[in-house]
Structure 1
Amino acid sequence: MRVKDTRGPMEQQEQGTKGHVGPAEFIFGFLGNGLALWIFCFHIKPWKSSTVLLFNLAMADFLLNVALPLRASYYIAGINWMFGNALCNICLFMLALNRSGSAFFLMAIAADRYMRVVHPHHRINSLSVSKALLGALGLWLLAISMTAHVLTLKSSNSTYCESFMSDTLPQNDMTWHKFAFLFSFYMPLCVILYCTVHIIIHLRGRQLAQHAKIKKALFFISVVVLVFTVCFLPSNITQLLIWIKKNSVAKKDSATICSALEDLTTTFYITICLTYLNSALDPVVYYFSSPVFKNICRKALHLSQTDAVESTEKKTRETGSHSLSQL
């Protein structure tokens, strides 16, 4: 059921400003992920299975930046969509695909890191690039299968482009949409937290946690978890509160419903912008995840080079640290 929009033009404009997608998110996301894809494609050779996962994460973020200009114009216009229902659905699909794809690939990266550190002799760690590509294709198919229904959403108001406030036929489309929205965050979050906690326990058990390199790696893992949580958790919690509030006032009149949801809706627009920010932050994650990527990036930007990649002897002694730095 779509909540009727009873706000006046000034209130709609204010709402749009609060949900505004800043140009910095688009610029840094587009340039950062474009540079990352360029480095992955033309400068990192040979690829490893971890490289495949990083490349696909960058692809998921790059797809978001294709849709951001349209989304930004929608917010700037005061929640007023001017490009028709078909393009609205495509835009919403791109946003949903990025959200699911980014979460799934971050989950896969965490699982890959966990296996290399906690179970270094498992045969999955010697996975070939071709098999890693098949695994990435499977994650894309999973993400698409969970978001493809967005392309069929229909809104009774052609100027409104919101996936959670649309009239849908059949009605169970929204049930699946809600499930996909929650599943694509909470399942990856559980896997990422499980992998991170067990990596820390494993390294502390081997008394490696005091080593300077290990400290940096553990700090990096914590940053990855923090970025994932900050970018995705607020919008998920807010959306859950909206659903709970909507169900509690479902039998009341439209004016009462709108009044009850006004603050939560404003909060949701703000928190969803944190989700968009994820695509601008991921290139920073790539930069600090590997000395190889960092040196290539600095060379491409004509900056002074950092220390070269560690020697083979050092890498052998610091296997735990090296594995962690692969993100």
Structure 2
Amino acid sequence: MSCSLNKTVLSAVLPPFLLTQFVLGALGNGLSLWIFCFHLKPWKSSTVLLFNLAMTDFLLILVLPFRASYFLSQLQWNFGSSFCNICLFMLAMNRSGSTLFLMAIALDRYMHVVHPHHPVNFVSPSKAMCGASVLWLLAVSMSAQVFTLNHTNSTYCQSLSLPDTELTWHKFSFAFFFYIPLLVILYCTVSITLHLRRRRFAQEAKTKHALRLLIVVVVVFVICFLPSNITQIVMWYRINKAAKNKVCADLFTVFNFTISLTYLNSVLDPVVYRSAAPAPGLGHSGEP
């Protein structure tokens, strides 16, 4: 059985949605990178994490016009198989890189609030950049399998085809880069919340500032990445139970919508940068 898609609906809704993300993401992240590079000195370890998150978003928005063209042409890819894999790699790398750096930002705030005297809070920007490089390496290495995709139809450019009920490396990494960072972010948020209740009033402002940032990270994380992971689980279950063409088509159509939500993080992440700005009474970057 092959899986058809509601191409008419996708071509009507996704192109304007993706192009809107492209424009807003280019403006927001372009401005953020400009501020990071030319107006935010000196850098701290938290600045390094925010800069790298902005870089992952900027790399993503470069390929959004091509994805918009793909859906506008009713799933006809007109840019060649090699460039298809490059675009799919950029999308997968952004998804994994964004979740990793959002997790790292949450851990950074957790350590500064809950363990303020830990040596990791005093690492230099150069050492923080080395840590960021490790996260980049992890994101790149776990997304590189996209280049092994062999598109039998040169006009088809998807990293997932249905019905496909086997647990592949792509599906594993898709789930891994959501659930592990989500658990870490939630742990950091709960820990800072509990810590806030035990702090003296004079110290509450710093902790509340860190907590606000964590709440923003959680909201961005859930809005952008939760729907596609829920849809992925439903697809595995429903198609294994009843491999009917109508079920398959509806689920895969919904999955394409929810995947497009993951690109929305490139638009919402500047809210994270703004939340990380120093609050009154706090030092540069808002670190306690």
Structure 1 residues 7-26: aligned runs within 5 Å: 11-20=6-15, 21-26=17-22
How far apart, in 2, do the equivalents of 1:72 and 1:52 lie? 31
8 A contact 2:19–2:64 mirrored in 1: no
How far apart, in 2, do the equivalents of 1:158 and 1:51 lie? 42
Matched AA of 1:285:
V
8 A contact 2:217–2:272 mirrored in 1: yes
Superposed displacement of residue 16, structure 1: 2.6
Number of residue pairs aligned between Structure 1 and Structure 2: 287
8 A contact 1:156–1:167 mirrored in 2: no
Q: 1:117 aligns with which of 108, 113, 116?
A: 113
2:140 paired with 1:144: yes
8 A contact 1:116–1:323 mirrored in 2: yes
8 A contact 2:48–2:129 mirrored in 1: yes
How far apart, in 1, do the equivalents of 2:201 and 2:69 lie? 50
Matched AA of 1:289:
A
Superposed displacement of residue 111, structure 1: 0.4
How far apart, in 2, do the equivalents of 1:147 and 1:271 lie? 19
What's 1:45 paired with?
Answer: 41
Q: Give a deviation string over 1:39-67, Cα, whole Å, max 9, x none.
A: 11111111111111000000000000111
What's 2:168 paired with?
Answer: 175
Aligned CA distance change for structure 1 residues 189 and 25 (closer, same or farther; 3 Å): same
What's 1:130 paired with?
Answer: 126
What's 2:196 paired with?
Answer: 203
Aligned CA distance change for structure 1 residues 74 and 123 (closer, same or farther; 3 Å): same
8 A contact 2:209–2:286 mirrored in 1: no
Superposed displacement of residue 248, structure 1: 2.4
Q: Give a deviation string over 1:271-302, Cα, whole Å, max 9, x none.
A: 112111110111122123204xxxxxxxxxxx
What's 1:29 paired with?
Answer: 25
How far apart, in 2, do the equivalents of 1:136 and 1:146 lie? 16
How far apart, in 1, do the equivalents of 2:248 and 2:154 lie? 21
Q: 1:221 aligns with which of 214, 219, 231?
A: 214
Aligned CA distance change for structure 1 residues 111 and 96 (closer, same or farther; 3 Å): same
**What's the secondary structure of 1:121's corresponding residue?**
coil
2:106 paired with 1:106: no
How far apart, in 2, do the equivalents of 1:167 and 1:270 lie? 18
What's 1:4 paired with?
Answer: 2
Query: What percentage of aligned pairs have identical amino acids?
Result: 57
Superposed displacement of residue 115, structure 1: 0.3
How far apart, in 1, do the equivalents of 2:125 and 2:213 lie? 25
**What's the secondary structure of 1:163's corresponding residue?**
coil
Aligned CA distance change for structure 1 residues 91 and 232 (closer, same or farther; 3 Å): same
What's 1:304 paired with?
Answer: none
What's 2:65 paired with?
Answer: 69
How far apart, in 2, do the equivalents of 1:89 and 1:167 lie? 21
Note the aligned Cα RMSD (angstroms).
2.6
What's 1:190 paired with?
Answer: 183
8 A contact 1:209–1:215 mirrored in 2: no
Aligned CA distance change for structure 1 residues 315 and 281 (closer, same or farther; 3 Å): closer
Q: Give a deviation string over 1:249-286, Cα, whole Å, max 9, x none.
A: 45xxxxx3x21212212221221121111101111221
Superposed displacement of residue 188, structure 1: 0.5
TM-score between both structures, scaled by the size of structure 1 = 0.80
How far apart, in 2, do the equivalents of 1:113 and 1:133 lie? 17
What's 1:300 paired with?
Answer: none
Aligned CA distance change for structure 1 residues 190 and 140 (closer, same or farther; 3 Å): same
Aligned CA distance change for structure 1 residues 209 and 63 (closer, same or farther; 3 Å): farther
Larger radius of gyration: 1
Matched AA of 2:8:
Q
What's 1:298 paired with?
Answer: none
8 A contact 2:162–2:248 mirrored in 1: no
8 A contact 1:154–1:166 mirrored in 2: no
Q: Which runs of 5+ in 2 are unaligned?
A: none
How far apart, in 1, do the equivalents of 2:229 and 2:282 lie? 40
**What's the secondary structure of 2:266's corresponding residue?**
helix
How far apart, in 1, do the equivalents of 2:142 and 2:25 lie? 24
How far apart, in 2, do the equivalents of 1:160 and 1:120 lie? 51
Matched AA of 1:235:
S
2:287 paired with 1:323: yes
What's 2:265 paired with?
Answer: 278
How far apart, in 2, do the equivalents of 1:135 and 1:178 lie? 26
Superposed displacement of residue 203, structure 1: 1.0
